[in-house]
């Protein structure tokens, strides 16, 4: 009797075996993974405990600068556009052929300078006609006066009736009126001849020529011959938030002249310095702003009509203030503070910030000039953390590495004082526009 091979286990039994093996592998991995820490995570954990290799305290590299003492200008900033104080459309006041165009397009013209000339020959002919008519009427008047003198003598002798004398007297008065009418017509023609020479009513820049020589022009024409725009001085119209209106109004009522600086679109070039002229008589409810108007001498013609500008109205200057970069100021739910670097440690100190201008802030309370404050690397700082300080050089963005900070109240050899900012003269361009209400 021969033995037969045992049958293979069912397919379902093999599937269960593989499933149990996979579950075992997954459970082992889940148990071992949290206990296997890579070197980077182990180093980070050591950093959290404040210890490095060998248990040494962790040193945080930071960039710091010294709080400086200086004057901080306070501005109100607004968007505006350049507007000429006067713009004149040059039109003809007489009809005729345009004989001469005496200007060049874009030329700077002076008040009274000849711009164009209309054909004066028809007017000269009318002037000669009216002068001849006046001469004839004057001769008739002279004869009427002689007759009246004769009639008066005859009337005294009762040689003529009084009615004849009165009639001659009325004739004299009528001829005198006729001569006066002739004189008025002559003056009118002379005035038309004066208008045939078109001159500039103001000093400014003339635009493109709109009518060419040889065209027939009329006083009733809709379009002008040219446009003259006054550029010196020139105005800037800009909007300021209505919340700032009271302080500006108070300063203007006291007669104080407020300075306005005009900057280009990119806030890189100062275009001019002017004076605030007036404030509009109403608030724009749609935008919640008030329109201001300032006058600029524009000696270098850097301002041009309809040009977009950023206007900065200087309303105050904080004198002898403690100033730090905005990057040094930190805020928590309960306070505003800075990290003061003293004795190689970062110490948080509560402050009272004041006016903000560009990238700097006035510290009203809590900080003294010369104290070193952290401006970079702050996110890694804790109270009392040891630091390796690099003092930022003013204007260069670079710094000098130091193992420890200078004592509080001193700037140290590596620190450089930031020059005083614009106190009204606007010497340096602002890095950013920021509306400030003192």
Domains of the chain in sequence order: 59-72+320-401 (2.40.420.20), 76-86+232-316 (2.40.30.170), 89-118+196-229 (2.40.50.100), 120-195 (1.10.287)
Is pLDDT at 429 greater than 60 in this prediction? no
Q: Shortest CA distance to 152 belongs to which of 140, 142, 162?
A: 162
Whole-angstrom distance, CA of residue 156 vs CA of residue 147 = 14
For residue range 303-328, what is the model confidence (pLDDT) as tens digits?
999 999 999 999 999 999 999 999 99
Percent of the chain whose predicted confidence (pLDDT) is above 70? 79
pLDDT given for residue 36 in this prediction: 54
Is pLDDT at 431 greater than 50 in this prediction? no
For residue range 7-21, what is the model confidence (pLDDT) as tens digits?
555 555 667 677 777
The mean pLDDT of 388-408, rounded to a whole number, is 52
Q: How many CB atoms lie within 10 A of CB 405?
A: 28
For residue range 206-250, what is the model confidence (pLDDT) as tens digits?
999 999 999 999 999 999 999 999 999 999 999 999 999 999 999
Minimum mean pLDDT among 66-75, 120-129, 410-419: which range?
Answer: 410-419
For residue range 164-184, what is the model confidence (pLDDT) as tens digits?
889 999 999 999 999 999 999
CA atoms within 13 A on the CB side of 224: 14
Q: Which two tokens stand for residue 178?
A: 């006729």
Q: What's the pTM value of the predicted model, to 2 decimals? A: 0.64
For residue range 17-65, what is the model confidence (pLDDT) as tens digits?
777 777 777 776 666 655 554 544 444 444 444 555 555 568 889 999 9
Whole-angstrom distance, CA of residue 331 vs CA of residue 323 = 17
pLDDT given for residue 372 in this prediction: 93
Kindly tell me the number of DSSP H helices and DSSP E strands found in the chain.
5, 23
Contact 194, 94 (CB under 8 A): no
Whole-angstrom distance, CA of residue 136 vs CA of residue 151 = 23
pLDDT given for residue 421 in this prediction: 44
């Amino acid at each position: 009797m021969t033995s037969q091979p045992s049958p293979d286990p069912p397919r379902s039994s093999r599937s269960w075996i593989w499933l149990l093996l996979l579950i075992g592998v997954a459970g082992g991995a889940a148990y071992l993974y949290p206990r296997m820490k890579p070197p980077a995570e182990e180093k980070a954990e050591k950093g959290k405990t404040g210890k490095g290799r060998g248990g040494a305290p962790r040193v945080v590299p930071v960039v710091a600068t010294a709080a400086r003492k200086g004057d901080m200008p306070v501005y109100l900033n607004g968007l505006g556009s350049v507007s000429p104080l006067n713009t004149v459309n040059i039109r003809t006041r007489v009809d005729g052929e345009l004989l001469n165009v005496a200007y060049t397009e874009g030329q700077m013209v002076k008040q009274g300078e000849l711009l164009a000339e209309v054909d004066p020959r028809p007017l000269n002919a009318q002037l000669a006609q009216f002068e001849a008519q006046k001469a004839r009427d004057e001769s008739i008047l002279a004869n009427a006066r002689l007759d009246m003198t004769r009639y008066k003598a005859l009337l005294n002798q009762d040689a003529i009736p009084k009615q004849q004398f009165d009639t001659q007297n009325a004739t004299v008065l009528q001829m005198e009126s006729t001569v006066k009418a002739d004189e008025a017509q002559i003056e009118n023609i002379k005035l038309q001849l004066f208008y045939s020479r078109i001159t500039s009513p103001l000093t400014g820049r003339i635009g493109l020529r709109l009518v060419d020589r040889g065209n027939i022009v009329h006083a009733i024409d809709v379009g002008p011959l040219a446009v003259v725009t006054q550029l010196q001085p020139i105005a800037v119209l800009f909007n300021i938030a209505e919340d700032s209106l009271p302080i500006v109004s108070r300063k203007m009522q006291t007669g104080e002249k407020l300075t306005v600086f005009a900057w280009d679109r990119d806030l890189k070039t100062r275009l001019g310095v002017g004076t605030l002229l007036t404030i509009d008589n109403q608030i724009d409810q749609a935008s919640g702003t008030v329109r201001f108007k300032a006058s600029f001498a524009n000696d270098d013609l850097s301002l041009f009509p309809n040009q977009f500008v950023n206007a900065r109205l200087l309303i105050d200057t904080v004198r002898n203030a403690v100033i730090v970069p905005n990057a040094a100021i930190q805020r928590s739910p309960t306070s505003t503070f800075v990290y003061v670097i003293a004795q190689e440690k970062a110490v948080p100190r509560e402050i009272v910030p004041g006016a903000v201008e560009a990238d700097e802030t006035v510290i009203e309370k809590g900080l003294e000039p010369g104290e070193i404050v952290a401006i970079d690397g702050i996110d890694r700082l804790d109270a009392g953390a040891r630091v390796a300080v690099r003092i930022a050089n003013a204007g260069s963005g670079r710094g000098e590495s130091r193992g420890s900070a200078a004592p509080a109240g001193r700037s140290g050899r590596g620190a450089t004082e930031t020059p005083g900012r614009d106190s009204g003269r606007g010497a340096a361009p602002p890095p950013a526009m920021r509306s400030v209400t003192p």
